[in-house]
Amino acid sequence: MTRGPLAAAQAALSADRAAADPAIWITRLPDEAILAQAQALEREGPRGRPLWGLTAVIKDNIDVAGLPTTAACPEFSHMPAGSAAAVQRLIDAGALILGKVNLDQFATGLVGVRSPYGVPRNVFNPAYVPGGSSSGSAIAVAAGIADFALGTDTAGSGRVPAMFGNIVGLKPTVGSVSAAGMVPACRSVDTISVFAKTVDAALAVERVIAGFDRTDPYSRQAPAGFMRRAALPADLRIAVAEVATLCDPPVADAYRRATALFRTTETVDLGPFLAVARLLYDGPWVAERTAALRAIVVEQPEIMHPVTRAIVAGGLTRKTVDAFDAFHQLAQARRIASELFARCEALILPTAPFTPTLAALQADPIGPNSRLGTFTNFVNLCDLAAIAVPAGFGPDGLPVGVTVIGPAWSEGRIAAIADAIHRHCVDGLPPAVIDPVQSDETALFCIGAHMAGLPLNPQVTALGGRFLRAARTLPIYRLHAMGNRPGMVRVASGVSVAGEVWALPTAAIGALLAQVPAPLGFGQALLEDGPCLGFVAEALGVEGTPDISSYGGWRAWLAREGHA
């Protein structure tokens, strides 16, 4: 039976008492206010609201009507005129807001210790940092207080604390979620992010908060259906990297186990991305942080946390001429990323290279924080989406994690990869939720190079295609090899041909067909479970080509020929 809002509120209050960690919170609603909110939702009923009765906390650099916004700086505290656009979408979807949670001041840091409101306790070992800057958001979910949380992510703040809390952190495509009502860090690359216990739960929240907002100049029009959940193909090409010298051994070991789940991998050079990552704290984006807080840095520096002040004040001396060098370097890295994702469905990396202790941060407030951004700093700069998931535990009992990274607007597709890793490492997760074909989509049966992991699959994914399932035709076809792709012809009696069903935006079907050379085209393919639009060939067009029907499918033919 689905838990109602009142039971959810009572469970949240009980978990908060059990955690007994006041540093999670900056402003928590009183018990009676939370229960009254829950009772009102209970009386109203679901009304079709997708987040009805789910408990949520909000990072305190995001506005919530009626609660102060502090960004973890008491002197900055102010009462907003209303809720941030993303928060209002949560409320309208039936979510139960518990309060505002702690963060590294002004969202500057990946450690979670730079706050005058205290340091939230790492739920696995209090001697270690909770991660930041979204420290309270991650800990509230990890401790079972909230079903989900909103954080923000500029350099990894929505991913690093997810690893330390053994939860999921979804970093959306920059501009997909309105930043209106969020205190900016680096305005051009900030995004509101989501913490939850599963990939599907995080994706459900992102579906609610995403949307174009004309009041946010960095908001972008999204392609239709980019958050629809794909299934995991049996074959796909994954990009990996040599990380052993960059990580502590438990992280490197977990990374090897996670990437071993995928049969086809390509090892890539991380050098250009690591160089761009360094720019976020040693380049023009430091000055962007300074610009967001210029009045405070210049007129009230004493109100800032000492480490935050030292970092942000550094932007005052940055030179424009150096900024253009950085912009050109970033353009090259973006080009490399674009070419990578034309070949590979996703890049998998460790989420963070290690988990530092509080003592290490006390001794060196900057160094460990900088190392934590090794695999995260470049992602927003390169306009990529990412989902961080748990990947097991090290011998010290601390959780480790990996992040699945894809191009902008790939959240629904990379969710399948992230979820597969999570399920491999964690038992008892609820069944995956794969979106069926929607009213604005068309199912397409692919039999050749357009299948997952094969050379022409990027033509499908670039148009918004998502994998649904493996399938076979009725035994009424012959299959022919036509160079780098197959031709399938219907006959009176033939073989069953293996392929894949993909969902494409109906508006994109013509664009894909325009890339298909004659004598191939689209027609009705009769599958074992019913008819489907599919790749077919004209009978005259396959005359004289090798009949490969006995292999039962293109992948088997490639394997036989040594091409797979």
Task: Give the integer Cα–Cα distance in Å for 529 and 180.
Answer: 47
- The last residue of a domain, from among 425, 454, 488: 425
Name which of 405, 390, 512, 406 is nearest 463 in CA terms.
Answer: 512
Residue 553: CA count within 13 A, CB half-sphere: 19
Give the H or E element holding residue 87. helix 85-92
Please count the structural domains in the chain.
2
Q: Is residue 435 part of a domain?
A: no
382 and 499 both lie in a single domain: no
Closest CA to 407 of 388, 383, 389: 383
Residues 399 and 293 in one domain: yes
Clarify whether residues 375 and 516 are in a common domain: no
Does residue 432 sit within a domain? no
Cβ 101 vs Cβ 24: under 8 Å: yes
Q: Are residues 404 and 270 in the same domain?
A: yes
Per-residue pLDDT of the chain (564 residues; tens, 9 = 90+): 478 999 999 999 999 999 999 999 999 999 999 999 999 999 999 999 999 999 999 999 999 999 999 999 999 999 999 999 999 999 999 999 999 999 999 999 999 999 999 999 999 999 999 999 999 999 999 999 999 999 999 999 999 999 999 999 999 999 999 999 999 999 999 999 999 999 999 999 999 999 999 999 999 999 989 999 999 999 999 999 999 999 999 999 999 999 999 999 999 999 999 999 988 887 788 899 998 999 999 999 999 999 999 999 989 988 889 899 999 999 999 999 999 999 999 999 999 999 999 999 999 999 999 999 999 999 999 999 999 999 999 999 999 999 999 999 999 999 999 999 999 999 999 999 999 999 999 999 999 999 999 999 999 999 999 999 999 999 999 999 999 999 999 999 999 999 999 999 999 999 999 999 999 999 999 999 999 999 999 999 999 999 999 999 999 999 986 554
Cβ neighbours, 10 Å, residue 98: 26
Helical residues (DSSP H) of 284-438, grouped into ranges: 284-292, 294-299, 306-313, 320-343, 358-363, 367-372, 377-381, 411-425
Query: What is the rounded distance in angstroms from the CA atom of residue 413 to the CA atom of residue 400?
Result: 23
406 lies in the same domain as 467: no
Same domain, 16 and 164: yes
CB-based contact 237:342 (threshold 8 Å): no
Same domain assignment for residues 197 and 167: yes
**Mind telling me the catalytic residues?**
59, 133, 157
| 431 occurs within a structural domain | no
pLDDT computed for residue 79 by the predictor: 98
DSSP string, 273-327: HHHHHHHTTSSHHHHHHHHHTHHHHHH-GGGS-HHHHHHHHGGGG--HHHHHHHH
β-strand partners of 479: 488
Tell me which residue has tokens 């900057």. Answer: 366
Range of the domain at 505: 441-561
Kindly report the CATH number assigned to the domain that includes residue 529. Answer: 3.10.490.10
Q: Based on the domain organization, do 158 and 287 belong to the same domain?
A: yes
Torsional class of 453: left (φ above 0), alpha (ψ -120 to 50), beta (otherwise): left
Q: Please, are residues 110 and 155 in contact by the beta-carbon 8 Å criterion?
A: yes
> pTM of the predicted model, to two decimals?
0.96
Would residue 430 count as lying in a domain? Answer: no
- Which of 357, 392, 425 terminates a domain? The answer is 425
Whether the CB-CB separation of 176 and 86 falls below 8 Å is answered with no
What the block records as the tokens of 498 is 């293996």
- The pair of structure tokens assigned to 346 is 């996703």
Residues 483 and 455 in one domain: yes
pLDDT of 3: 85
Same domain, 346 and 447: no
Q: Is residue 433 part of a domain?
A: no
